[in-house]
Structure 1
Amino acid sequence: MPMTVRSNCTGTLPSVIAGSAYTCSRCAEPHDGPPLGYGTPAPAYWNVEAADQPGSVLGEEQCVIAGSYFFVRARLVIPISDLDAEFDWGVWVSVSEASFERMSALWDKPERVEEPTYFGWLSTALPLYEPTTLNLKTKLHTQPIGDRPLVELEPTDHPLAVEQRTGITSARVQWIAEQILHTNPPMG
């Protein structure tokens, strides 16, 4: 699934590091940015076959495959240690049917922020990480109406989990941008 540039849902962060045009180390061209977030339009398990199965639907914030697999869109936030900003991976997390139904029942109710965390499995294969990010254990923290849930990874030694705990630098943000820019064509 291609990665697309995105800003976070709350609108509190700029979509790129302000005033930080840079010369790309891969193509030697100047670029605005780098972006502070990327996301995918669907879980890694969504494909043509899944879309054709009865009980399958892909929405902006939720996805169901074959009436049996349930996903919600969420934000995996990583602090940028040398800036007063955060980097945002837009991801999908699989949850149980019971959790999905509970989240759906509270979708537009303010009291949803009082919910305990939901267990889930990361269902986005983020580029640039080895081993894969698929199926990392997560906790989903429900946010106020209009904000996507926040993902908390299990504190393991996986590089993504380490970055979430310790943060990344603005140089790492630029490196991520250079890799993604030259792997996937920019999408609007």
Structure 2
Amino acid sequence: MNHSAAAPYVWDPSFADAPDCLLSSDQCVIKAQHYFVKGLIEIPVIASDEVFTWGVWVSLSRENFSRAADLWDTPGRESEKPYFGWLTTDLRIYSHSTINLKTYVHTRPVGERPLIELEPTDHPLAVEQRTGITMDRVREIAGALLHGAGTGTGTESG
């Protein structure tokens, strides 16, 4: 019921040894100029208590990334206002690119990944987040992911 990208779409493995780059399970910095956090797009599964989750990366401004990093281990951080960001995960199962969709990053309690809210547009991913998906759609997504139509970077499923 979930699928996760290992890195932002713009990450290159050659960055791994660069002193101005960082890739952890939650945060990414590229050339000390581009900042990303990992969060979850949650999609309700209709007629069930299940939620399908995309683990995605969102770019943040330097200021918002610094603020989020400063509060990373601070109880009560979930009271922060949402941070604006751009989706930087290519979910290739969608016919329209998911790169650079507008998002809001909602911080959650310590130990929980942020919730990623997509701007309410007519993009199929944004529509699915708002309206939910059927279990048949979950199976369709799983089948597409198994056959290589996943994300633009390494992925993890669970």
User: TM-score with structure 1 length normalisation?
Assistant: 0.77
- Kindly report the root-mean-square deviation, in angstroms, between the aligned alpha carbons of the 2 structures: 1.8
Q: Within the alignment, does 1:117 sit opposite 2:82 as a pair?
A: yes
Q: Spell out, residue by residue over 1:82-135, the C-alpha distance to the aligned partner (whole angstroms, 9 max, x if none).
A: 211100000000000000100011000112111000000001001211210000
> Does the aligned pair in 1 maintain the 2:3–2:156 contact within 8 Å?
no
Asked which structure has the greater RCO (Cα within 8 Å, sep 6+), the reply is 2
Measure the CA separation in 2 of the matches of 1:146 and 1:184.
Answer: 30
Identity, in percent, stands at 50
CA deviation string 1:14-51 (max 9, x = no partner)? xxxxxxxxxxxxxxxxxxxxxx0000110001013433
Higher Rg of the two aligned structures: 1
* Structure 1 segments of 4+ aligned residues over 6 angstroms from their partners: 184-188
SS in 1 for 2:76: helix
Distance 1:37 1:116 in 2: 26
Identify the match of residue 97 of structure 1 among 62, 80, 83. Answer: 62
The answer to whether residue 112 in structure 2 is matched with residue 147 in structure 1 is yes
Structure 1: tracts of 5 or more residues without a match: 1-35
1:107: which partner in 2? Answer: 72
Q: How many residue pairs align between the two structures? A: 153
Indicate the SS of the match to 2:7. coil
Aligned match for 2:52, one of 71, 83, 87: 87
Letter in 2 for 1:71: F
Contact kept? 2:35, 2:65, Cα under 8 Å: yes
CA apart distance, 1:183 = 1.5
- Retained in 2: the 8 A contact 1:51–1:65? no
CA distance in 2, matches of 1:50, 1:131: 28
The answer to whether the aligner puts 1:168 opposite 2:133 as a matched pair is yes
Q: Give the secondary-structure state (helix, strand or coil) at the position aligned to 1:110.
A: coil
Whole-Å Cα distance in 2 between the matches of residues 91 and 48 of structure 1? 18
Partner of 1:32: none
Superposed counterparts of 1:20-169, under 5 Å: 36-169=1-134
